Amino acid sequence: MNRNLVVLLLVGILFAATLWSVLPGVRAPMEEWRQKAVTHWKAAKRAARTVVPGGQTEKGKEPVAQGPDGRQWVEPLTGMPFVWVPGGCFPMGSEEGEKGRDRDEGPVHEVCVDGFWMGQREVTRGEFRRFVEATGYVTDGEREGFSWVYTGVWEKRTGYSWRRPGFFQDDNHPVVHVSFNDALAMARWLGEKGGGSFGVPTEAQWEYACRAGGTEARFWGEGSEEACRYANGADLTAAKDFPSWTIHGCSDGFVFTAPVGSFEPNRFRLHDMLGNVWEWCADTYDAQGYRKHGPKNPTIVDPSQTARVIRGGSWYSRPEHLRCAKRDGLSRPDRRSQDLGFRLVRQ
């Protein structure tokens, strides 16, 4: 990135911070500006690592959207990057001694999954917008006129949707206020356009991709201070606005959502598998579901059950919730909120 541009951007941010501190009357509008400045500063840092001809980054790193075996694919309608997740076996679930463990995460059992394509990051507002503009789709939140937002407690509020999330977002942020139904509608559209069979991942696919060959609770290890290199969760940044939160002992720079890809990927080159937004899975929730799993490509879809599983935690999540084994099954398929998005897979 041009060093002069970096200097100018830093000077602009410092000037804005000074103005904010000395002129109380401009603090409210300047807060929104500050959030935008932080977002664009981080985006500028990421731009220094974008792909150049030949598939190499300016720092000689690996190509964008490259999986562990080098296979990559970009969906042509949206520009969404996918990486190939090679098939394999892993111990699904968590042991009783894992901190924060819930009973529905056991028993630990070996599961094998076939290889599949997975979105390198969560679906963005821009990608979802292309789907909506192409089809005229109306989300559950827009049609019913409300969603769930955080105001110190989670509340049902009118007027919120993916278009009006309740905090600053641009088109590089993960889309939020989207239901399971909304996610499947986008997946069907992509499939109908001839790109293959799309959907949200099964629980087994999701956890296998999160662990990326490891067995630890988090793919970065157990250090709380390391969390902010890899995930956007409840942290020291958020504690300034929400001092009652249980937090990670580090600062990730974001109170709410971060642009996708802002943090280091896991060993499968997947970003934001933990934190940023919760992600829908294909399975219906069953607290005893692991006792019903077969050994190969297990999934549970019970027509008599409405709750769908979400995985991964979000910007709101305390350390105990940012774990690869963590399951949440309280979400109906029309549920939407400020911290709920999705990631797609292609079979």
The secondary structure of 99-118 as a DSSP string is TT--GGG-S-EEEEE--EEE
Q: Which of 19-33, 144-158, 174-188, 302-316 has the lowest mean pLDDT?
A: 19-33
**Distance (Å, rounded) from C-alpha 174 to C-alpha 124?**
4
- In Å, how far are 64, 230, 272 from 61, measured between CA atoms? 9, 18, 19
Whether residue 7 is found in the same domain as residue 112: no
Whether residue 44 is found in the same domain as residue 70: no
Whether residue 33 is found in the same domain as residue 112: no
Q: Let me know if residue 147 belongs to a domain.
A: no
- Interval 312-322 mean pLDDT: 91
- Interval 309-324 mean pLDDT: 93
Whether residue 37 is found in the same domain as residue 168: no
Q: Let me know if residue 146 belongs to a domain.
A: no
Whether residue 164 is found in the same domain as residue 246: yes
Contact 249/224 with Cβ under 8 angstroms?
yes
The number of beta carbons lying within 10 Å of the beta carbon of residue 253 is 16
The count of structural domains within the chain is: 2
Contact 37/16 with Cβ under 8 angstroms?
yes
Q: Let me know if residue 43 belongs to a domain.
A: yes
CA 154 to chain centre: 19
pLDDT tens track for 76-132: 999 999 999 999 999 999 999 899 899 999 999 999 999 999 999 999 999 999 999
Asked if pLDDT for residue 189 goes beyond 80, the answer is: yes
CA 77 to chain centre: 21
User: For residues 189, 84, 210 and 346, what is the CA-based torsion angle, rounded to 10 degrees?
Assistant: 20
pTM over cut 0.85: no
Q: Let me know if residue 138 belongs to a domain.
A: no
**Distance (Å, rounded) from C-alpha 119 to C-alpha 15?**
39
The pLDDT value given to residue 223: 66
Whether residue 41 is found in the same domain as residue 168: no
Q: Which residues constitute the domain of residue 32?
A: 1-48
Whether residue 3 is found in the same domain as residue 92: no
The pLDDT value given to residue 18: 39
Sign of the dihedral through C-alpha 202, 187, 76, 256: negative
- pLDDT mean across residues, the chain: 84
Asked if pLDDT for residue 24 goes beyond 50, the answer is: no
- Which of these, 164, 38, 80, lies nearest to 342 by C-alpha position? 80
pLDDT tens track for 237-271: 988 889 988 888 888 999 999 999 999 999 999 99
The pLDDT value given to residue 5: 44
